[in-house]
Amino acid sequence: MTSKSPRSQATPSFSMDDFARALEQHDYGFQSGQVVRGKVFNYEANGAYVDIGGKSLAFVPTEEAALRRVTDLSAVLPLNEEQEFVIIRDQDADGQVTLSRRRLEMNRIWEEVADLQNSSQSVQVRVTGTNKGGVTVDVRGLRGFIPRSHLVERNDLEALKGQTLTASFLEVDPNRNKLILSNRMATRAASMSNLEVGQLIEGKVTSIKPFGVFVDFSGTTGLLHINQVSNRFIESLPSLFEVGQPIQAMIVDLDATQGRVSLSTKVLENHPGEMVEQMATVMAEAEARAEKANKKRERDSA
């Protein structure tokens, strides 16, 4: 028996149809959430086609081209310029995936915002709208919210539209798309960074409580405790102070973590009870008396 030579054996053919079917069966591994790189191939009325190395061109809808509104696709997605995208829709029957630059940018900004919160940094935000609970703000393209109770100016919210505010972060939750900020805390933190123990402040009485007097100065609120008013026992604070009254006092303690400023006027007295008997004199000579009190404090701590 003679065997057939290799030349005489039939070689199966591999047609273009076979090649196409093989491509269809090939799994490129593209899936939703994956970050890919690609170049814009051409533009359509509602988006752009991008070559990411798949069997079909990927597609970027216009609304997914950038975080902000796009009027000119070529300005944000130039032809043949390689960029990163995130897949937001798996391959369809034709093997085409849908891409987004907007969501990729958004994810990165959420990461930046989380880092800012962790490092207790503040940001500049623009007020974009209002509701009865507070104001909505633009935070690097993300939508944030500042509750009314966390605004420094809270009486006329409409007047804040378009304004830029300094704010710190209260809650950052990208999973729930929740971004809550505080203008009041950021302002207080900025003010406190310029304060120090022994500093003489000038402000106004804003509230009188049984335990002390609250004083507003330079965007900060300090407490003049009843025990810090005078070296003499005080029976009634309303008999000494009234809301709106100008007052000078010395900072005797700072708690930046809690945002607390403790004030004292008794350190300005030349004798016990002088704040009760001659408050006007103490206030008129407050600067010189504060300097004297600081020198005594330095001697005592030496």
**Could you say which of 163, 188, 213 is where a domain stops?**
188
Residue-wise pLDDT tens digits, 78-97: 999 999 999 999 888 888 99
- Please give the model's pTM, rounded to 2 decimal places: 0.61
Tabulate helix, strand, coil % of the chain (nearest 5): 30, 35, 35
In whole angstroms, give the CA distance from residue 233 to residue 273: 8
Do the beta carbons of residue 282 and residue 269 sit within 8 Å? yes
Question: What average pLDDT does range 2-29 have in this prediction?
Answer: 52
**Could you say which of 139, 165, 188 is where a domain stops?**
188
Max mean pLDDT range (103-112, 187-196, 214-223): 103-112
Question: What average pLDDT does range 190-217 have in this prediction?
Answer: 92
Reported confidence tier of residue 13, pLDDT bands at 50, 70, 90: low
Reported confidence tier of residue 12, pLDDT bands at 50, 70, 90: low
Cβ burial 171-184 (10 Å sphere, 16+ → b, else e): ebeeeeeebbbbbb
Total of domains in the chain: 3
Domain that holds residue 200: 194-301
In whole angstroms, give the CA distance from residue 97 to residue 206: 61
Q: Phi-psi category of 259—alpha, beta or left, where left has phi over 0 and alpha has psi -120 to 50?
A: left
Asked if the model's pLDDT at residue 274 lies above 60, the reply is yes
CATH of the domain at 295: 2.40.50.140
Question: What average pLDDT does range 123-136 have in this prediction?
Answer: 95
Query: Would 4 be classed as within a structural domain?
Result: no
Is pLDDT larger for residue 251 or for residue 298? 251
Asked if the model's pLDDT at residue 122 lies above 80, the reply is yes
**Could you say which of 161, 188, 215 is where a domain stops?**
188
Reported confidence tier of residue 266, pLDDT bands at 50, 70, 90: very high
